[in-house]
Structures are given as structure tokens and as C-alpha cells.
Structure 1
């Protein structure tokens, strides 16, 4: 005896949903006799009648109604599978885990993620704000899918791609004498109260070298671990600082102005990925989107750092 096949169940579901063989045949794009034959085969497999025939019309039996409830559940499951498959194809289903340097996580990532998943209700994100060392370790051990760092990875398990090189800005209290300068140079800051990044920040060495080579003294009384903290001190009037443009982006504190700094202090942004792991379509789609968004942001940063 032939086994029940999916086409028989599909014919049964179509007749129950539409109420007639004629409409079922239109839905399935087959002839009416073909639908009737599939129904007859399905009844034989079930071992009981599914429809009573009265004057050319079909009336579902109680058994048919009970079976239809199960068939509908099955079709819902199939539709869910197809919906997920389509979402996977369209990069709109699943979870993306990201580790990002704190300033990137707070200032840049939210806009990128929202613009990506606004119309993708089945996409979820997990964001970890980490300094570069912990970030690289998290990617290497595949705790996260990707990392956005200010340093390249130094472990063999990861690959690093520099996606942008950004020029630093000098941030000043809004009442500062240099607030309208086309560019701020080291000699302009001689004797100034200076908010310095801590020795653990890789840009600290670059900034110190610029001032040391010119033998320009600053008054460094405050060291901070992150550029955003320097931003807060500058807003309070405690001094000036040279920071990456990401920390300035989307910061609307009217107590602060940002001016280009010369010579250039460059800040790199790196994409860190596991070397051995094959990324999902969703992750690949997000990376492509993020790269495009970062390209656009880089133009904004570059414009703000350009000497006019």
C-alpha cells in the first residue's frame, strides 16, 4: 500500500481551507479530478471517510475537522521553517554578538545596528563594551562574532582588517580663547591645563611625542582612562584634550567645542574576526552594512578634522 504523501495532505488542507474541490484546484494549480483523486487516496490511507458528498458538495466529517487541526499545525510549522529560511537568506534572522571599544560601542554602534535591524524583527544583537585587549581575546575564543577595536589583533586565532584611519581633534571649553581657531597646534597649548589619556591608551604615546619633539610644556594634572572621560573634564572647564573623533560624535554638550589638531594624530579602527570560523550570512550581511555606515561616518569625521 502506498504511503501518504505530502501532496495528498496538501490537497486535503486546500479543500478544508477553501470549502470546495474547485477552489482547491485553483489554489494548487491542478485539475479538479487530480484533487479528487488525491483526496480519495488520502481517505484510503486514513481508513475513514473525510467528506460526505451531498449533491456535488463536500461536507467535512468530524474526523476531517479533527485531522485538519493537526494538519494546520503541521503547515504552520512548515511555514515557520520557510519563513526562517527566507529570513536567513535575507540576513534578517538570528543573533549577532559584537565586542566594541567603549567609545565605538556608545557613539557609533547604536546607529549602525538600528539602521540594519529596523525592518528585521527576527534579528537580535548582543553588544559588549570592552577595551581592546579583552575584545581581541573574546573574538579569539569565539565568545563574540566580530570586534571593532582601536588596535589590531595580536593572536593567531584572529584576523584584523583596518577599516578606517581617523584624525584626532582638540576639544576645548566653549569659552576658550582658541574656540574659533581653524586648527589648534601644540604651541597654542603651551602652559595649558591638559587632560591626558592614561598610559594604557595607545594614543597617549603619539600625543606626548608631538609635544616632546617641540619641547612644549603642558600642565598635566588629570589622566583619564578613556577619551569620553576627558570630554567630561573639558566640559567642566578643567582643561583641554586631544581625543579621537568617535568620542566627539553625537556628543551634544554645548560647553565644548572641537577643533582640528595639527599635526595629525591618527586613530585606527579595526575589524577583528575569528580566523577559523565561517561567519553566518547574517553576520556577513551586518559586516557589509557596518562597513558602509562607517565609510559615511568617516567622511563626517574627516570633514570635522579638515583645516579650513
Structure 2
């Protein structure tokens, strides 16, 4: 007997009629009759006799019903599990992110996610962009979060939102509350972050478009949080994404820049990999941080 045969057979045994079995299964009565007939042909047995217009199970049907109850119970459990997983994901999710996002965006997202999905355990790793993409391809990670990740074969992505690029300086720095022109930024001491990552490349392209690429930084720090720490001590101003600017321990001043710049925050995963309910739920939580 096939699983569909067993499902219809159990519905008839439980309800005692074809019409009620059809109602239970949300199908038509002719469909139930057709499946029952096919089941009887496949096993070579008569499962029900009609007695005074009602179905009477044969002895063979009663024996089959007794033996298949465990299987039907397991099928019901699988349906319940699938339904519950759709409503309340569970399992284990391995998430990778940039170090700066690990101190800014990710903690609040994890807090909200755990409150909504307490049965999902999480493993958080911080990696730089290229390392993160490689870890996805080698299945070390299920999901990654990065700023403007470069296109990579085998990697799919979706933009969660954008974060502005801001000028970071010491906490007691005074100045206009309005945006700081990039020409004014490079006229003083400033801290560069190089061009080896998407944020540095974005800033470098903006300088080049304005003809400012001839100005050299006083200090170059290819780690964003080092650049922030240097700016906090007044060594120079730094251009960083707002998430990084507001995530460090030392207090700093944060000011918009002109022309305005922003960079996308992306969720990334292995293209063609099996999407999980937990992974989709975490992406939704991340997207909500930018709502």
C-alpha cells in the first residue's frame, strides 16, 4: 500500500463513511472512492463491504488498521513538525559577519532573534569579507553579513539596508552640526583605511571623483576600529560607516559628510544551498534593524 492509500484507509476507518472521510481529507468523495479501489486492487483484498448502505470493514481491514496505526501516527507527527518549523524555526545557525558589524548590528539582531526563536542556537564568527565568502562556499557558515560584498560565483546576496558614511572625530571636537565637506576633511589631518575592502574602495572612488585623491592621510589603519580609536584620541578624523562609528567603547563625535555617501549592508549565502526557516527568519530580523 502506498502512503496515500494508508491515509485514505485510515480516514475511512476513523469516520465510517466515504463522505466523512472526504471531508476529513478536504477532497471529493469520488476521489476517496477511487483511491480506496486502487488500494484494494494493489493489495488484492477487499477492505470494506457495504452492509445496508454503510461500509463495514473486513477482518483483513481491521488487521491492517492495527498494524498501520503507528505509521499514521508518525506521519501526523511529521506534519505537525513541519507546521511548527514553519511557525517556529529550530536547529542551529552559523553566522559570519565583519568584525565591525559584530560590535554594532549583530548583537541587537541576535537579541531580537533569540526572543522570537529561542529554540534556534547560534554560532557567531567574525571574518573579513573575502574570508567570509570563502567560508560560505566551503559550508563552514550558513549565512554572512557584509558591506557591499563583491560579486562571487556561487554566492547569492540581498541588500538589507544602507548605512551612511560619516566623519568620526574626538568627542570634544567642535564644529558646525551640518555636513562636513570632503574637501575640508582632507585639508586637515585624517586617517585612511586603505582601498582593500568595499568601504575603503567607496571612499577612494569618492575622493577620485572630486579630484581629492592626491591628498595623503596622516595615518593609514586598515582596520576600521583602529581608525575609530585613533580618531577618538584626536590624531585625525576618519571616514567610517555609521554602524562602526557608533559601536566602539570610546566616545567620539559623529558628523555627516557632503556629498553624502552610503554603503549597503548585505546578507550573503551559498547560492543553491538549502534555505532554512531559521536563516530566512534571521535575515528578516536583520532587515528589521533598518526599517
Would you call these one fold, judging by a TM-score over 0.5?
A: yes
Contact kept, 8 Å, 2:100 with 2:244, in 1: the verdict is yes
Shift of 1:273: 1.5
Shift of 1:153: 4.7
Scaled by the length of structure 1, the TM-score of the pair is: 0.62
Scaled by the length of structure 2, the TM-score of the pair is: 0.65
1:248-272 residue CA offsets vs partner (Å, 9 max, x unmatched): 2344633x11011111222121211
Does 1:277 pair with 2:273? yes
Instruction: Report SS of the residue matched to 2:111.
Output: helix
CA distance in 2, matches of 1:286, 1:208: 32
Which sections of structure 2, spanning at least 5 residues, go unmatched?
1-76
Instruction: Report SS of the residue matched to 1:138.
Output: helix
- The residue that corresponds to 2:136 in the other structure is 139
Contact kept, 8 Å, 1:234 with 1:240, in 2: the verdict is yes
Contact kept, 8 Å, 1:91 with 1:285, in 2: the verdict is no
Does 1:156 pair with 2:153? yes
235-244 or 153-162: bigger deviation? 153-162
Distance 1:143 1:176, change over 3 A: same
- The residue that corresponds to 1:98 in the other structure is 95
C-alpha RMSD over aligned residues: 3.1
206-215 or 187-196: bigger deviation? 206-215
Shift of 1:94: 0.9
Distance 1:157 1:190, change over 3 A: closer
Contact kept, 8 Å, 1:100 with 1:128, in 2: the verdict is yes
Distance 1:284 1:173, change over 3 A: same
Q: How many aligned positions are there?
A: 219
Residue in structure 1 matching 2:162, options 165, 182, 192: 165
134-143 or 114-123: bigger deviation? 114-123
Which sections of structure 1, spanning at least 5 residues, go unmatched?
1-79, 297-308
Contact kept, 8 Å, 2:191 with 2:220, in 1: the verdict is yes
Instruction: Report SS of the residue matched to 2:173.
Output: coil
